[in-house]
Amino acid sequence: MTPDDLFAAHGDLLDEDRLDEWTDLFTDDCLYLVIPRENVDRGLPLAAIRCESRGYLKDRVVAVRETSMYAPRSQRHVIGAARAQADGTVTASYAVFQTLADEPTKVFSAGRYVARIVDGRFAELRCIYDSTLVDNSIVKPL
């Protein structure tokens, strides 16, 4: 898989609720973070989601499935072209749209993925969303 293929698989498997397959995109000792840009810029560690291994990701998947407090919704990722950076990471811009029942589609999040890719899987995936807030409404991975 190219980096573009990997990012496309990431978005598609999340949006189609194929969450077990989604965890297969990561290495066993992966790091997955969903963190506001503000905290990255300031060096603050607080993240909306932090999973420090593929086992944590699987726990997260169970938690999402068992979260009954939140209304049915569709999420949809649109991800730009992957770009290799000088420090060895691969980045891509993203937007995620959310649609609740009987409501129009809205922008849910926009930001940038910063990934380290090893053998076609994510060894690290940071979803850095453009916000100053650690958003409690982020339930599903982004």
**Is residue 11 a contact residue for a copy of itself (CB under 8 A)?**
yes
**Is residue 139 a contact residue for a copy of itself (CB under 8 A)?**
no
User: How many residues of this chain bind a copy of itself (CB under 8 A)?
Assistant: 42
Do 32 and 122 form a contact (C-beta atoms < 8 A)?
Answer: yes
For 73-78, which contacts have Cβ atoms below 8 Å and span 24 or more sequence positions?
73/98, 73/99, 73/100, 73/101, 74/15, 74/98, 74/99, 75/14, 75/15, 75/108, 75/140, 76/15, 76/105, 77/10, 77/11, 77/12, 77/14, 77/15, 77/142, 78/11
Which window, 47-55, 62-70, 99-107, 115-123, contacts a copy of itself (CB under 8 A)? 99-107
Which window, 23-31, 45-53, 55-63, 126-134, contacts a copy of itself (CB under 8 A)? 126-134
Tokens of 35: 């963190």
Q: Which residues 12-31 are close enough to bind a copy of itself by CB under 8 A?
A: 12, 15-16
Which window, 27-35, 44-52, 56-64, 70-78, contacts a copy of itself (CB under 8 A)? 70-78
Tokens of 84: 């290799």
Contact residues for a copy of itself (CB under 8 A)? 4-5, 7-9, 11-12, 15-16, 37, 74, 76-83, 91-95, 97, 99, 101-102, 104-112, 129-133
